[in-house]
Amino acid sequence: MSEWFEGSKKGLEKIARRRGLSYVLFELIQNAWDTGAREVSVVFVPVDGRPLVDMIVTDDDADGFKDLAHSWTLFAESERKGDPEKRGRFNLGEKLVLAVCESAEITSTKGCVRFDDEGRHVGRKRTESGTVFEGRVRMTRVELDAVLAAAKELIAPPGVKTTIDGKRLTERAPLKVFEASLQTEIANTEGFLTARTRKTNVRVFSALTRMDPETGARRAFGFLYEMGIPVCPTGDQWDVEIMQKVPVNLERNAVSETYLRTVRVLCLNELFDQLKPEDAATPAVQDALTDERIKPEAVNVVLTHQYGEKRAVIDPSDPEANHRLVTEGYTLIPGSAFSKPAWENIRSSGAAKPSGQIMPTPKPYSTDPNAPNRKLLPESEWTDGMKNIASYVEQIAKKLIKLHVTVTIDKGLIGAGWAACYGSGELTFNLASVGYDFFEHGPDARVNALLIHELAHEAEGNHLDEKFYKALQRLGAGMTELALSEPELFRNHGHKSHKS
């Protein structure tokens, strides 16, 4: 069949240079690493006085090129796309490399091919074993320095001696290696790359120091790697290397958000016990926190780093508990600190509880629908003393807080520690706590102290709020004024002067 397409070398060169010359080098190295080579060497020879560099990549794979035509045939069926542990799949990389070369020669076990101004020349020269790629690339010295710096980012496969200008790529010791199921792509019988989930090793390293493109600062700034080749920046504290094909785009420089989140969750679940406090708020960790696959222990460690051991979630339903916990040295976490899915994980893991659950402010009546209803003492059963105090409370309240306050007496089902409680214009005495005798001495100091306290709750429910103590001051002063201006109000209710 006659071919539909023709290629433009210049156009392909522009596509290759768009990603940068470092990636051109990476294409050659990944092709060599995809073979059975035990040694791979890269040498750069700058051409004197010209912005040209000879790039020579040699490997010692016994087989060499199976089909030399694949070096110039764009998008032929890649023999590597059926193997998830090999990097090649598009049958494009080598052509991108050739596109940036002024001239090139590939010599392998089955022959050689030379590319120059006059075109392509297949020759008979061959190697005993392995392949030598020699290409003359238009490259300034500044560009060469950048390529050399990028080459240091590669992670050589264990057991493959890889040298750049004679220097062996330094082996990096992983912080952790673990097995995980991850999405990959494998060619099906018809040669179409299809997504598949497969078990693979994940190797995690401390991230190299790189420039954070957002801030311009140099810091540990992670990359995602596919079998030694950098794919895309993550900015995480880790460089993460996946030991099988990563589902990348044609440019090999991006993965989906879902894939990246999966990798982050896996890493945090494996490495949370090594997490540094300063790394708890990184995008990697915060992203992982939103994922339901995160381990509860990991959530706990992250929150401990961010908020300390003593931490509570701000509880709008119990402001007093919030105050009390702060005085006990707790750090309060505002609702805005995390997204909804992260809160769900925090809740289900129990990594942080609302203040009201840690130190509930006692409530006179339970809001629990199964709690017994309050049992009031019917007014028909009130003693004269009770009636007297009720009338006193009503009159004092009218003067001091300008409200009609009704009095009720509970037989003791409200919380035991409660002498009384106040809410919505109703003051309830707890008979079980104050006792019958409380009502028998008129407005004495005990009655007045309790009254001032309860009426102050008209201003503020929270005992620790400034508004509450200011209300206490106001009511104390107000009652003094009242005692001086209307002493009969007190005397009429049986107040006994202590003066003889």
Ligand X SMILES: Nc1ncnc2c1ncn2[C@@H]1O[C@H](COP(=O)(O)OP(=O)(O)OP(=O)(O)O)[C@@H](O)[C@H]1O
Q: How far is the CB of 241 from ligand X (least distance, A)?
A: 18
Instruction: Judge whether 441 and 492 are in contact, CB under 8 Å.
Output: no
**Residue 71 within binding range of ligand X, rule CB under 6 A:** yes
Nearest to 419 by CA among 406, 411, 429, 427: 429
Amino acid letter, residue 262 = T
- Region binding ligand X by CB under 6 A among candidate stretches 71-79, 278-286, 338-346, 441-449: 71-79
**Residue 98 within binding range of ligand X, rule CB under 6 A:** no
CA distance 132 to 120: 17
**Residue 93 within binding range of Mg ion, rule CB under 5 A:** yes
Which residues have C-beta within 8 Å of that of residue 162, sequence separation ≥ 6? 29, 33, 39, 40, 41, 42, 154, 156, 168, 169
CA distances from 394 to 260, 364, 403, 476 (A): 67, 21, 9, 17
Number of Cβ atoms within 10 Å of the Cβ of 344: 13
- Measured from the CB atom, the residue of 88 and 230 that comes closer to ligand X is 88
- Region binding ligand X by CB under 6 A among candidate stretches 72-80, 205-213, 268-276, 319-327: 72-80
CA distance 453 to 113: 97
**Residue 394 within binding range of ligand X, rule CB under 6 A:** no
**Residue 31 within binding range of Mg ion, rule CB under 5 A:** yes
**Residue 39 within binding range of ligand X, rule CB under 6 A:** no
- Measured from the CB atom, the residue of 83 and 153 that comes closer to ligand X is 83
Amino acid letter, residue 462 = N
Binders of ligand X in range 156-195 (CB under 6 A): none
**Residue 64 within binding range of Mg ion, rule CB under 5 A:** no
Query: What tokens appear for 326 in the block?
Result: 């702060």
Contact with ligand X (CB under 6 A): which of 26, 60, 80, 422?
Answer: 80
Contact with ligand X (CB under 6 A): which of 23, 65, 115, 418?
Answer: 65
Amino acid letter, residue 308 = G
Contact with ligand X (CB under 6 A): which of 54, 60, 94, 315?
Answer: 94
- Region binding Mg ion by CB under 5 A among candidate stretches 27-35, 95-103, 192-200, 356-364: 27-35
**Residue 127 within binding range of ligand X, rule CB under 6 A:** no
CA distance 281 to 293: 18
Query: What tokens appear for 96 in the block?
Result: 């991108």
Q: How far is the CB of 93 from ligand X (least distance, A)?
A: 3
Instruction: Judge whether 322 and 463 are in contact, CB under 8 Å.
Output: no
- Region binding ligand X by CB under 6 A among candidate stretches 58-66, 168-176, 405-413, 459-467: 58-66
Query: What tokens appear for 375 in the block?
Result: 């049992």
**Residue 93 within binding range of ligand X, rule CB under 6 A:** yes
- Measured from the CB atom, the residue of 66 and 168 that comes closer to ligand X is 66
Q: What is the SS3 assignment for 94?
A: helix
Look-up: residue for tokens 């120059």?
116
**Residue 32 within binding range of ligand X, rule CB under 6 A:** yes
CA distance 118 to 112: 16
Q: What is the SS3 assignment for 125?
A: coil
- Residue 64 interacts, among ligand X, Mg ion, none and using kind-specific CB cut-offs from 5 to 8 Å, with ligand X
- Measured from the CB atom, the residue of 95 and 495 that comes closer to ligand X is 95
The footprint of ligand X (CB under 6 A) covers 27, 31-32, 35, 59, 61, 64-66, 70-71, 78-80, 88-95, 131
The footprint of Mg ion (CB under 5 A) covers 31, 88, 93
